[in-house]
Amino acid sequence: MIRTVATKPYDDQKPGTSGLRKKVPVFQQQNYVENFIQSVFDCLEGFEGKTLVIGGDGRYFNREVIQIALRMAAANGFGKVMVGQGGILSTPAASNIIRKYGAFGGLVLSASHNPGGPHEDFGIKYNASNGGPAPEKLTDAIFAKTKTIASYKIADFADVDLDTVGTFSAGGISVEVIDPVADYAALMESLFDFAAIRKMFASGFTMAFDAMHAVTGPYAVEILEKRLGAKPGSVRNFVPLPDFGGHHPDPNLVHAKKLYDLMMSAKAPDFGAASDGDGDRNLIIGRGIFVTPSDSLAMLAANARHAPGYAGGLKGIARSMPTSGAADRVAAKLGVGMYETPTGWKFFGNLLDAGMATICGEESAGTGSDHVREKDGLWAVLLWLNILAARQEPVKAIVEKHWAEYGRNYYSRHDYEGVETDAANRLVSALRAKLSSLRGQSFRGLTVETADDFSYLDPVDQSVSSNQGIRVLFEGGSRVVFRLSGTGTSGATLRVYIERYEPDAAKHGIETQEALADLIAAAEDIAGIRAATGMDAPTVIT
């Protein structure tokens, strides 16, 4: 039976950088989930009888929301739902399923790197038929709909057993519970030289992969240990837990500190890596050397030809605006296009669909390619492994040779979390107001060349996205960027991105914060962060 249920709108269902993210108790309010999902469906056209993919990162509340989504998909006229066993699908795996099986779209349930649990974060994101996050036009329409929604449709049927693979019928539609790993593993096998990587592991190569008790555990065990022969135990924390074991599943130097410490110790394996809550981010650490995500993007692009899936070369490279310019130098050398987009994977979709870019990346540990329409943590790990197997050199040597060839982009991001929202907005408005007066001014001996609020003109559909972050560019190519996070769930997070280019190989061994000290001080002089936030130092430095 299908019911139409009257409801009242909420005013806070605005999708952020990557879907709607809120605390679990917010999602647990009456009709909160239903309102959002109905608003998504109401903004779509032509899905009658078609397939919807549903999966999540296994965090607290995942299963409950999947049951609601199944009943609403049936009531709204989808013909079939494909759902990962146990409710599990990593974000890149969900993207692959949508594309491979020609689904109309998908609901990805995750709050990514944010913590999980009854009082932590949850999220819902809609992905379109290309497998990628809904473009801004659609997320704007969804938000508008959530403000006027008056009813939703839901079918009545008992909970579907999510733990048994197979096809069931429920509420007049077919529900297929699929193995979440198989299709993804097959895709990876089609892109990379598994035989060469297997040979490398067989000859004693060692690695540590930290799944952070999040979604990549089952994927990493299957691919790294079973198919590629990494020593059992190479994958750590591989059981996905609803609260990620109480940690932040954020693969950075703060939350993956154990892995970092191991990689810097005498007992370090050859290669260290980690992924986040929903499996789309990656952390890469060689023995004795951390590879910044911006550098990793550049190095993967420069070496991609070693992998069979990219042997034909790259069509272009895209990076988000705050990501360092290291990849730009690679694109120039390869003679391919370089695109600078706003933060968030949804902005890469058009470039990938149009065949203008092959590899994309963000400074926030996201790298991916045109194989899916999401960033992909394990993909990055496997491309690194493929390159290591082909070049037969340690990570450190590859990194240092890259710097010697292209120069080094010293780079760091300073996050100020939990800032009072009004104070954060005031800081940004004040910065905006003085943008034009900054030009020509000097801070700590650095002269401002230009300052603007980044605006993006999508070269494919000509859409414009404004106010995407304040850039202050200094003479000589150094820069600082300020923007507010669009993924947090309490207060505001100010992100300050700092970059300096150093062409001289003799100066490539400086500690990062030290190399950036003048710029860090200049950022403080320009924005008055301490006074505005009441904080003496960033809460997270990556």
The least CB distance from residue 60 to ligand VG1, in Å, is: 17
Q: Provide DSSP, 305-360.
A: GGSGGGTT--SEEEEETTS-THHHHHHHHHT-EEEEE-SSGGGTHHHHHTTS-SEE
Q: Which is nearest to 290 in space by CA: 77, 511, 96?
A: 511
Q: Which does 343 bind (CB under 5 to 8 A by kind): ligand VG1, Co ion, none?
A: ligand VG1
Q: Where does 13-124 have alpha helices with state H?
A: 24-27, 32-42, 62-76, 91-100
By CB under 6 A, name the one of 120, 121, 193, 280 that touches ligand VG1.
280
For position 276 contacting Co ion by CB under 5 A, the verdict is: yes
The least CB distance from residue 197 to ligand VG1, in Å, is: 25
Residue number, 382 or 481, with CB nearest to ligand VG1: 481
Instruction: Please report how the helices 517-527 and 421-433 are oriented relative to each other, as an axis angle in degrees rounded to 10.
Output: 90
Exposure string over 275-305, b if 16+ CB within 10 A, otherwise e: bbbbbbbbbbbbbebbbbbbbbbbbbbbbbe
Instruction: Please report how the helices 377-391 and 91-100 are oriented relative to each other, as an axis angle in degrees rounded to 10.
Output: 90
Alpha-carbon distance of 365 to 296, in angstroms, equals 9
Q: Which does 96 bind (CB under 5 to 8 A by kind): Co ion, ligand VG1, none?
A: none
For position 362 contacting Co ion by CB under 5 A, the verdict is: no
For position 415 contacting ligand VG1 by CB under 6 A, the verdict is: no
Residue number, 80 or 495, with CB nearest to ligand VG1: 495
The least CB distance from residue 526 to ligand VG1, in Å, is: 20
Residue of 18, 95, 110, 112 with catalytic role: 112
By CB under 6 A, name the one of 18, 146, 275, 468 that touches ligand VG1.
18
The type of residue at 35 is N
For position 367 contacting ligand VG1 by CB under 6 A, the verdict is: no
What three-state secondary structure class fits 109?
strand
Size of the site for ligand VG1 (CB under 6 A): 18
Residue number, 362 or 458, with CB nearest to Co ion: 362
Q: Provide DSSP, 370-409.
A: TTSSS--HHHHHHHHHHHHHHH-S-HHHHHHHHHHHH-EE
For position 296 contacting ligand VG1 by CB under 6 A, the verdict is: no
User: Pattern of binders to Co ion over 277-306, x per CB under 5 A?
Assistant: -x-xx-------------------------
* Of residues 321-360, those binding ligand VG1 (CB under 6 A): 343-345
Q: Which is nearest to 51 in space by CA: 25, 23, 82?
A: 82
* Of residues 418-447, those binding ligand VG1 (CB under 6 A): none
Question: 440 to each of 156, 165, 429, 446, how far by Cα in Å?
Answer: 66, 64, 21, 9
Stretch of 60-68, 105-113, 128-136, 153-161 lying at the interface with Co ion (CB under 5 A): 105-113
The least CB distance from residue 153 to ligand VG1, in Å, is: 29
For position 386 contacting ligand VG1 by CB under 6 A, the verdict is: no
For position 112 contacting ligand VG1 by CB under 6 A, the verdict is: yes
The least CB distance from residue 487 to ligand VG1, in Å, is: 3
Residue/partner pairs of 440-444 with CB below 8 Å, 24 or more apart:
443/521, 443/522, 443/525, 443/526, 444/518, 444/519, 444/521, 444/522, 444/525
Q: Which does 121 bind (CB under 5 to 8 A by kind): ligand VG1, Co ion, none?
A: none
For position 248 contacting ligand VG1 by CB under 6 A, the verdict is: no
For position 485 contacting ligand VG1 by CB under 6 A, the verdict is: yes
Stretch of 43-51, 274-282, 291-299, 517-525 lying at the interface with ligand VG1 (CB under 6 A): 274-282
Our answer to whether residue 174 is catalytic in this structure is no
For position 281 contacting ligand VG1 by CB under 6 A, the verdict is: yes
Half-sphere exposure of 487 (CA within 13 A, CB side): 19
Q: Catalytic positions, please?
A: 112
